[in-house]
Amino acid sequence: MTDRDKALTALSQALKLEREGRAFYLKAAEEVRDARCRKTFLSLADNERMHEEMIVRQLHTMEGSGRYVLLPDLEAPAIDLQAKIFPPDLGKAAEQVRTSRSELDALHIALENEIRSYDLYRHAAIETEDEAGKRMYTWLAGAEMTHFNLLMANYEAIARESGWV
């Protein structure tokens, strides 16, 4: 498989994950009762939309020129691309909380989605030798880690029964 083919595969997978993530957050926002939960999911849906737009631009450029394009104003955060993130134990938290089961389920699914996206981006950042691609994937991995940390903070707050942050 050529570098171009690898890049097109990674970008196609990324686009699929971002679209699925956005659709999930929009649907979850419709179904949850807590206003702060809804606001968080709508914000994450908007972030996924922005990621999708970035990936589409890269995909079109890769299809045309066979290279990534350096995106302006894209500073990749300093993250450890070797680090993995893990989901919480849903069963343990469910026993401890009085929060709507649908909110807890949605939160757990969201955490798993962010992990999948993070893993895809960190692997792509490690594997690509193209500097523009590496910066984009590292930035996206950092964004997904930020989403995971936000969701995890809410998960932990719910587990302590203090509600959404």
CATH for 57: 1.20.1260.10
Predicted confidence at residue 13, as pLDDT, reads: 97
Query: 161's torsion region: left (phi>0), alpha (psi -120 to 50) or beta?
Result: left
pLDDT for res 94 = 42
Which pLDDT belongs to residue 87?
Answer: 60
pLDDT of residue 154: 87
For residue 88, pLDDT over 60 is answered with no
Classify residue 124: in a domain, yes or no: yes
In the chain, the number of structural domains is: 1
The verdict on residue 41 lying in a domain is yes
pTM listed for this prediction? 0.84
Q: What is the mean pLDDT of residues 117-135?
A: 94
Query: Is 89's pLDDT higher than 50?
Result: yes
* Residue 96 placed within a domain: yes
Backbone region of residue 66 per phi and psi (left: phi > 0; alpha: psi in -120 to 50; beta: other values): left
120 lies in some domain: yes
For the chain, give the percent of residues with pLDDT over 70.
84
> Would 137 be classed as within a structural domain?
yes
Whether the Cβ atoms of residue 84 and residue 148 lie closer than 8 Å to each other? no
* In-domain check, residue 86: yes
Q: What is the pLDDT of residue 99?
A: 46
Q: Is residue 164 part of a domain?
A: no
Domain coverage including residue 21? 3-70+77-159
Chain segment 10-66, per-residue pLDDT in tens = 999 999 999 999 999 999 999 888 898 899 999 999 999 999 999 999 999 999 999
* Domain annotation covers residue 165: no
